[in-house]
């Protein structure tokens, strides 16, 4: 009896796996975002100082950071689409809560919590606003939208380094996480505007 030969789909081939590995590097995630590949996202941050020193800018754009969703983020989206809990997901909701952190992250696919999440008044986890939806323009193309939140620190000074999106005001399921392009050294009454662009 002859062996039946089947063609391995490209995404599961040696070269497909190499490309997937590359896309999960910092440079690869940026390329994935600009190619509108689903699951690759971007966070942009603007820090506005309430009382800048003479050598500081009043407002400073801290750049974009590019990232891909964590594994539980995939479970969350599958749960929302199917209407049934997948894996460890409990009571899934859309991921629109932005959490900020004072820790520099080493993002991993298996992460479920935001290391160093801050609870300081004004910059604790809060509900963002979903806006700027753009629908797909080609067959199987990605759509994208923003989640935006303006935080005002009313507590003592702190440095915000990273962030994540969750589906709940506390605990909940993490969708994505990322370090900022630059840290935000915040003084009391400073604001930080966080805009997360999500590709689906």
pLDDT in tens, 24-73: 566 766 676 667 666 678 899 999 999 999 888 999 999 998 887 899 99
CA distance 197 to 40: 9
- In sequence order, what are the residues at sequence separation of 6 or more whose Cβ sits closer than 8 angstroms to the Cβ of residue 29? 23, 40, 66, 67, 68
User: Is 3 within a domain?
Assistant: no
Residue 95 lies in a domain: yes
Number of domains making up the chain: 1
For residue 1, being part of any structural domain is answered with no
Domain presence at residue 105:
yes
Classify residue 4: in a domain, yes or no. Answer: no
In a domain, 2, yes or no: no
pLDDT of 145 reads 94
137 within a domain of the structure (yes/no): yes
Closest CA to 151 of 182, 128, 174: 128
**Residue-level pLDDT at 2:** 54
How far is Cα of residue 159 from the mean position of the Cα atoms in its chain?
Answer: 19
Sign of the torsion formed by the C-alpha atoms of 92, 162, 178 and 47: positive
**Secondary structure class of 129 (helix, strand, coil):** strand
**Structure confidence by residue, pLDDT tens digits, 66-79:** 887 899 999 999 99
Q: What is the mean pLDDT of residues 164-181?
A: 95
Decide if 184 is inside a domain.
yes
Which range of residues forms the domain containing residue 61?
10-199
pLDDT of residue 90: 81
pLDDT for residue 59: 94
Has residue 83 got a pLDDT over 70? yes
pLDDT digits (tens, 9 = 90+) for 139-156: 877 888 999 999 999 999
pLDDT tens-digit readout, 88-132: 888 889 999 999 999 999 989 999 999 999 999 999 999 999 999
């Amino acid at each position: 009896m002859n062996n039946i030969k089947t063609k391995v789909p490209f995404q599961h081939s040696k070269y497909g796996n190499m490309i997937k590995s590359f896309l999960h590097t910092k440079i690869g995630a940026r390329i994935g975002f600009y190619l509108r590949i689903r699951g690759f996202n971007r966070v942009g941050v603007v820090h506005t100082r309430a009382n800048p020193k003479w050598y500081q800018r009043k407002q400073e754009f801290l750049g974009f950071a590019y990232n891909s969703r964590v594994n539980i983020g995939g479970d969350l989206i599958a749960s929302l689409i199917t209407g049934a809990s997948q894996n460890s997901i409990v009571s899934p909701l859309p991921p629109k809560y932005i959490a900020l952190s004072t820790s520099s992250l080493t993002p991993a696919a298996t992460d479920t919590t935001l290391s160093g999440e801050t609870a300081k008044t004004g910059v604790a986890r809060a509900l963002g606003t979903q806006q700027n939806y753009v629908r797909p323009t080609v067959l199987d193309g990605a759509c994208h939208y923003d989640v935006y939140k303006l935080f005002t620190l009313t507590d003592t000074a702190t440095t915000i380094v990273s962030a994540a999106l969750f589906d709940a005001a506390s605990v909940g399921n993490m969708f994505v996480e990322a370090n900022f392009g630059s840290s935000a050294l915040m003084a009391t009454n400073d604001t930080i505007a966080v805009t997360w662009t999500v590709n689906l």
